[in-house]
Structure 1
Amino acid sequence: MEVYRSVIMDGIAEKGDVLESPTKKGALEYTVFPMRWLVLFTYVVFSISTMMQWVQYTIIQDAVVKYYGVSSFEVYWTSMIFMIVYLLLIIPASWLLDKTNLRVTIIISSFGTCLGAWLKVFSVSQDMFWLSFVGQTVVAVAQVFMFNVPPRLAAVWFGADQVSSACSIGLCGNLLGVAVGFVLPPLLVRASGSIPEIAADLRLMFYLIAGFTTVLFVFILLFFKAAPPSPPSAAADISNSLDSNFLLSLKKLITNRNYVLLLMCYGLVIGIFYAISTLLNQVILSYYPDANVDAGRIGLVFVLAGMVGSVVCGLILDKTHRFKETIVSVYGASAVGMLVFTFTLNCGYISVVYLSSILLGFFLIGYLPAGVEFGSELTYPGPEATTAGMLNAMGQIFGLLITHLYEWMLRSVGDRWANLTLCALLACGAAITAAIRSDLRRQAAQNTSKQ
């Protein structure tokens, strides 16, 4: 076991509120348990099973349109429904996590993911696209309850010097799910196949995902734990001792100037990520018409590079605790990466597009854990799930707006101006980020406890 020794602080002041530690001035050993890695690994695998279904239809849009006889717009909404449902349910989902625990929330989410996957198994008939959409909607509801878990899981289970890394690993589960969603459907479903062949391919894909989610649901019921026997850090100890008032937490969030600025910056990054992910197939095929499989692989390397960037950012934050400097640097690099992606699309060499996608993904997606952890720092001791939930809600709002704008611009003025618009939005986000004051409250609590 790893042991952290510290003295809990008497209290920290936050806008007139005094927080007293549960043990006053007594010294306390903080122990982290090996079980934390199983809990984190289980969450990562589960989030993969959910998020892989987000782009399950849009990345094989041409095959879905051909088989079900629906429009591209209808297929496009199988992805957009995830954003709509998130906005509708984020408040009750955050309240549930705040009032219950990680285990209850993950069990509910896992059951919904499993149910939605099995509904799709029965939607292979050509006149059953509506049932596919229902199944997709059920999975979308389920993802609301798991999407905000990483910062809360990291704070509940991990010590002060691992919390940012644990959060970034948890977010990597979401990203890896998107990556699998990019690469698996094009490999399983032949867009150029006959109708019977596409039917067989879809049936195989749906059964594989349904079986996977069923096994995971059973595993979560048996092994996923709500919390360790004792808090892993002083910050977690103090946070656990507070009586949570959900409405008051929301009020403090929306009146926190630094957090409101972060909401805008985070929303822009998420929105651009969603727009590119949703319409990547369309963008790539406009230059490389026969590159259906390559479109999925480019999405894969885009997200995998982002996962590496996320872990690197998490490690940097754990070592330096320089949150603002890190996210300003990553934001600026994302704008540069978007410019490179924009001007290499028409180079004629798809290998170059792979490389520019890696550069863009590393910084754009790598920003996400840094933004979430910075939000937790700015709003401590507020509930991490609520803080992350509001960030993700803003991401969904911007996702809807930017994806619609991007889709319209692709049709109206072409990808060059559409991508340059995303570059301009990233530059604006970097400027707003620079205006955020680095008010690291959780670090202040940790530093006080160590004295």
Structure 2
Amino acid sequence: MESPTENVEFKSYKRKWGILALFTIICMCNGTQWSQYSVVGKVFAFYYNDADLYAIYWTNWIYFISTFFLILPATWLINLKGLQVAITLAMVLNCVGTWIRLLSIDPELFWVALLSQTLISISRVFVVSTPIVLAVTWFKPNQVASACAIGIAGFQLGNGLGILISDAVIHESVRKYEIEYEMSYLYWSTAIAHSIVLLLVFILFRSAPLTPPSKVEAEKSNLMEKKGIFHSIKSLLSNTKFVTLLTISGINQAVFYYTVFGMRYMGDSAEGIEEKYAVTLSATMVLSGALGAIVCGVIFDRTKKLQIFSFVIYAISALAMMVFCLLSSKIRRFNIIFLYINAGILGFSLVGYMPMAYRYATELVYPELEANSSAVFTMGSTFLTFVLGSIFVLFYQIEYYHPNYICWWMSGALIIGCIFLASIFVSINRARRV
């Protein structure tokens, strides 16, 4: 029997690079907001009438909660209405959140700041798992991993810029009016920039090309008719290898995010790594991670050695984490340069694994829709990230518990992840159906 896609002409458009560039900018816009409060948490805690520091950190944690509870409805919308509607809605929420934030410039209005972060965190659910969806929709199979990696790199570039910009603009001061002025400058700049990006989305962004780039993409409509999202979720969660990979990725992300945002607690003394080093070390990890995502994606597209390459990158991250533990436990000026180099390697390998993981996940469960598999994958790994991150924070709260011990716990978790990853074998089923 002749396949319904047998006589379909496949075509790759040059416009895909413009779509990908715009999508990456959207991811950057969202990423810059994530750490805007937490990276200078003490300043904001003082400004908002000595608010609890953990209340400030909720501006960060709300992203995990929104992702876990809302990513499946967001995926349903993507399947129903397409990428254009979902991405436009995401950017509208992002833009509205940045304008609402302007109203929070008042020591009594921290709840407004939290409201703005909540809206921006909701916008994230429409974009966080879509790099692989956009890549498969617009790009040929031999470019999918690279395109997905560039989208993921957008989040990391945004996170890195958010850390550096907040630290550069917002300074500690005993005069609240000085902090207010800096907040106003940062918030107005952010709101205007996001409004420009929203306008570009309305004008330029499209859901899909007129002609699919591959046979896999051409068959998607048939798959959508056969399976609903809930049937797909049941199928995904019954796949042992998929759940194992989800657990491995949850460990990876928990280690990355706790290391980035908990950097200053990981030194040898009670004060941890000096704050002047902590911020730049965090930014080094995040920005090198963006580079790692792109490099790893390109290498996979060239080699197609998915399982071996994923394992090597994950093993490097485990080794780099152990070296990081040793260096940060004896932080002195003579070895700070080595700590920066190692932080770069750690960020490169941890984030470099992420596009490989999404690609790996779609291969394990083919022919499930990428939107469904990446959504469930993101939801599960986000839940594990939140749980493991909370455990790491709990360990830090134990009075007699040395902060550097958490480093070794994270190293052990990554080693366990390596063992699990070695147990998975997958053939490149999707790539064979070009």
| Superposition TM-score, scaled by structure 1 size | 0.91
Pairwise mapping of residues 352-371 of structure 1 onto structure 2 (< 5 A)? Answer: 352-371=338-357
Instruction: Provide the rounded CA distance (Å) in 1 between the counterparts of 2:82 and 2:69.
Output: 21
SS of the residue corresponding to residue 356 of structure 1 reads helix
1:347 match: 331
**Contact 1:379/1:441 (CA < 8 Å) preserved in 2?**
no
> Aligned-pair distance for 1:290?
5.1
| Contact 1:182 1:300 (8 Å CA) reproduced | yes
SS at match of 1:147: coil
Report the equivalent of 1:232. 213
SS state at 2:104 partner: coil
1:44/1:174 contact within 8 Å kept = yes
Q: How far, CA to CA, are the matches of 1:272 and 1:98 in structure 2?
A: 32
Which digits, 9 at most, give the CA deviation of each residue in 1:387-407, with x for residues without a partner? 111121122111211221122
Is the Cα contact below 8 Å between 1:109 and 1:146 reproduced in 2?
yes
Question: Which whole-Å CA distance do the structure 1 matches of 2:81 and 2:261 have between them?
Answer: 34
Q: Give 5+ residue unaligned stretches, structure 1.
A: 1-9, 11-19, 447-451
Task: Give the alignment partner of residue 104 of structure 2, picking from 91, 114, 123.
Answer: 123
The offset of 1:353, in angstroms, is: 2.4
What corresponds to 2:27 in structure 1? Answer: 47
In the alignment, what sits opposite 2:71?
90
TM-superposed CA distance for 1:432, in Å, is 0.5
Q: Deviations over 1:329-383 (max 9, x none)?
A: 1111111011111111132133332222101101111100000011111122211
**Does residue 61 of structure 1 match 2:41?**
yes
Aligned equivalent of 1:324, options 283, 290, 307 = 307
For the pair 1:144 / 2:130, whether they are aligned, the reply is: no
% identity of equivalent residues: 26
- The equivalent of 1:169 in structure 2 is 150
**Higher alpha-carbon deviation: 357-366 or 239-248:** 239-248
Aligned partner of 2:433: which letter?
A: A
Q: Which amino acid aligns with 1:51?
A: G
SS at match of 1:146: coil
- The yes-or-no answer on 1:438 pairing with 2:426 is yes
- 1:175-223 Cα shifts (integer Å, max 9, x gaps): 1111111111000101246321111111111111111111111110111
Q: What residue is the counterpart of 1:427 in the other structure?
A: 415
RMSD (Å), alpha carbons = 1.6
Moved more, 319-328 or 278-287: 278-287
Matched, 1:213 2:194: yes
Divergent runs of 4+, >6 A: none
Q: How far apart, CA to CA, are the structure 2 residues paired with 1:302 and 1:290?
A: 15
Q: Contact 2:22–2:205 (CA<8 Å) still a contact in 1?
A: yes
- Is 1:31 equivalent to 2:11 in the alignment? yes
Give the equivalent residue in structure 2 for 1:274: 257
The aligned counterpart of 2:177 is 196
Aligned residue pairs total 424
Aligned counterpart for 1:385 among listed residues 371, 386, 410: 371
Offset at 1:279?
A: 2.0
Is contact 2:260-2:285 (8 Å) kept?
A: no
* Aligned match of 1:5: none
Q: Is the 8 A contact 1:342 1:416 kept in 2?
A: yes
Whether 1:264 aligns to 2:247 is: yes
Over residues 427-448 of structure 1, what are the superposed CA-to-partner deviations in whole Å (9 max), with x where a residue is unaligned? 01110111112132202322xx
Contact 1:313-1:370 at 8 Å conserved across structures: yes
Q: Distance in 2 between matches of 1:121 and 1:277?
A: 27
3-state SS, counterpart of residue 11 of structure 2 = strand
Distance in 1, matches of 2:326 and 2:132, equals 36
Q: Distance in 1 between matches of 2:3 and 2:419?
A: 38
The residue aligned with 1:416 is: 404
Is the contact made by 1:172 and 1:307 (CA closer than 8 Å) also made in structure 2? Answer: yes
Alpha-carbon shift at residue 101 of structure 1 (Å): 0.6
Structure 2 CA distance for partners of 1:378 and 1:288, relative to 1, 3 Å: closer
Task: Output the CA distance in 1 between the equivalents of 2:236 and 2:126.
Answer: 20
Please say if residues 291 and 348 of structure 2, whose CA atoms lie closer than 8 Å, have aligned partners that are also in contact.
Answer: yes
Q: Find the residue that maps to 1:366 and give its secondary structure.
A: helix
DSSP-derived class of the 2:379 partner? helix
Within a 5 Å distance, the mapping from 1:286-325 to structure 2 comes to 286-289=271-274, 291=276, 294-325=277-308
For structure 2, the residue ranges without an aligned partner over 5 or more in a row are none
When residues 251 and 58 of structure 1 are mapped into structure 2, their CA distance, relative to the original with a 3 A threshold, is: same
Separation of aligned partners in 2, 1:382 and 1:99: 16
Residues 27 and 127 in structure 2, CA contact (< 8 A), matched pair in contact too = yes
* In structure 1, C-alpha distance between the alignment counterparts of 2:178 and 2:293, rounded to whole Å: 39
Deviations 1:241-278 (A, max 9, x none): 33242122112211222211111111111122222233
| Cα pair distance change 1:230/1:193, threshold 3 Å | farther
Greater shift in the superposed pair: 247-256 or 343-352: 343-352
